[in-house]
Amino acid sequence: MLAFRGAVVQMPSMGEVNILPDAAIIVDASGAIAAIGDGSDIEALCATHGVPASAVRVLGPQQMLLPGFVDTHIHAPQLPFTGTGTDLPLFDWLNTYTFPTEAALRDAARARDVYSRLVARTLSLGTTTAAYFTTLHMEPCKGAAHGPPPSSPNPLTCMHPAMCVIATANPEVLADIVESVGQRAVIGKVVDYVISKRCPRLTPAVIPRFPPTCSPAMLAGLGRLAAETGAHVHSHISESRDEVRATAALHLGRAGSGGDGTAAGGGGPGAEPEQGRAGNDCGSDGRGAPGGCGGDLEAGEGGGAAAAEEEFDGSSDVEVFRAAGLLTPGSVFAHGTQLGPAGLAAMAAAGAAISHCPLSNFYFGDGLLDVARALRAGVTVGLGSDIAGGYSYSMLVAARMAVANSHALKAASLSAGGAARSVAAAAADHVLDWKHALWLATEGGARALGLGGPRGPAGALEPGHAFDALLIDAGCGAAFDAFEGDELMQLLEKFVHLGDDRHIREVFVQGARAWPPRAPAGS
């Protein structure tokens, strides 16, 4: 059991940040927050919950407890080339960097090494929950969801003692063995294995990478599997113009535009792939390795020249996922930069969420996701790092990029609107501030993954939630300066804008200290 006295950050709603300057917080033996009260009541709370008075930790005047970060979209296999390869458009990037790197993770030992390094890295940066993509290889994928050693103090772990994640069983679907043993037999083994771990916060996800790498029949099969097992659904949606056009050509029988509507001809959603299109039916490895399609990804036919720029609307991706039974409550789709009003409305109606990955969108998205518009449409939104499309593991960087993204949208709105466009109106329509971004990186992400809200368990420091928390030291002087007279809210804002892992003294997951792995000397 744990007990703290000091400042605690709470975010009851998006854009609202409350700091309890002198709070008492009690964590029970299961790792859940048993009580939060006034700091002056710490002794009484300890007595009520059976916590020895000697166990109370008193925070410093410039320290605070913050909810752990939630990364709603991260490609674990892409760690080896993170920070490189941002020089190409999306499909060229996938073919040149991503598919070869992911193909190498068919080796279980290499996969275990890569995944362990990534989890250690993200833990040190304050990520306590994440939706991980793995690869299409069954044994390494199962290894990504391994449980803790018997000596571990924390029973809810994945890939690292004391790391809780939404594990992605990543059935992108093993095209080389699907034909011989069937989708359900292969993917089901991984899904069933993750379910067998009996960890409420370790859950499998059905993951078609995105429509251009899956046939309509494959998507429909994955939809049935998700419905049968209750697995989450995670994929990419309306990510770039080339992706939307490729989806329209393969799934809707259209060349060129990716607009809303039904197919004008050819095989519609759910139909068998047309003869000659099997080369696009690939999993993670698009270079001809096991699970691959035998050729590089290509943009949809016609390159979009037939459609005027103002008519482009990438919401047809939504129709493809919906027809396959993959647009459901509990589904999370990354990017959405090309979604129009119809696509957002359909996602909201289905209860599907968007993982906003602003850094990678700047490089590969061919557009910017308007988070404010998505939220107004009723879509749940969380933040994602999108390693390695985004080159930073840090959710602080994702939060900063989300704010920058919103200001870029404001500037674009003013440019398009001319002199008649009001600056105040453009800001009201588009701009997020640091408080909005911090919510997206915590509670927003937890809700997107089905782990947030009043009953938790992640995303907030509230009674009944798991104690997933960061002990922030805003006064250590590492990345920014704290001055006498700085209020706690100012220090928190500085941390969001300027802080880094040096200000994150400790990371707790489900009540257990997950980082650093050993106590600092003299602590």
Per-residue pLDDT of the chain (523 residues; tens, 9 = 90+): 999 999 999 999 999 999 999 999 999 999 999 999 999 999 999 999 999 989 999 999 999 999 999 999 998 889 898 999 888 888 888 888 888 888 888 788 888 888 888 888 999 999 999 988 877 666 666 655 543 333 333 322 232 222 223 333 333 333 332 332 334 454 566 666 666 666 666 777 888 888 888 888 888 888 988 898 888 899 999 999 989 998 998 898 876 544 443 222 223 322 222 222 222 222 332 222 222 222 344 444 333 333 334 445 678 899 999 999 999 998 999 999 999 999 999 999 999 999 999 999 999 988 999 999 999 999 999 999 999 899 999 999 999 999 999 999 999 999 998 888 999 999 999 999 999 999 999 999 999 998 888 777 889 999 999 999 999 999 999 999 999 999 999 999 999 999 999 999 999 998 999 899 765 455 4
Task: List domains and CATH numbers for the chain.
Answer: 2-67+459-515 (2.30.40.10), 69-448 (3.20.20.140)
Pairing of strands 205-206, 504-509: unpaired
> In the prediction, which pLDDT does 202 show?
73
Sheet holding 166-167, edge to edge: 69-75, 127-133, 166-167
Q: SS3 for 470? A: strand
How far apart CA 177 and CA 181 sit, in angstroms, is 6
Helices 316-323 + 341-350 axis angle, to 10: 30
pLDDT value at residue 183: 42
- What count of residues does the chain have? 523
pTM here is 0.83
Three-state secondary-structure class, residue 287 = coil
Task: Indicate the SS3 state at residue 409.
Answer: helix
Calculate the alpha carbon distances from 21 to 7, 18, 121 in Å. Answer: 4, 9, 30
| Burial group, residue 178, by CB count within 10 angstroms (0-12, 13-18, 19+) | buried
Which pLDDT score, from 0 to 100, does residue 338 have? 95
CB 336 within 8 A of CB 405: no
* Of residues 91, 133, 115, 131, the one with CA closest to residue 293: 91
Distance CA 123, CA 162 (A): 9
CA 52 – CA 71 distance, rounded (Å): 35
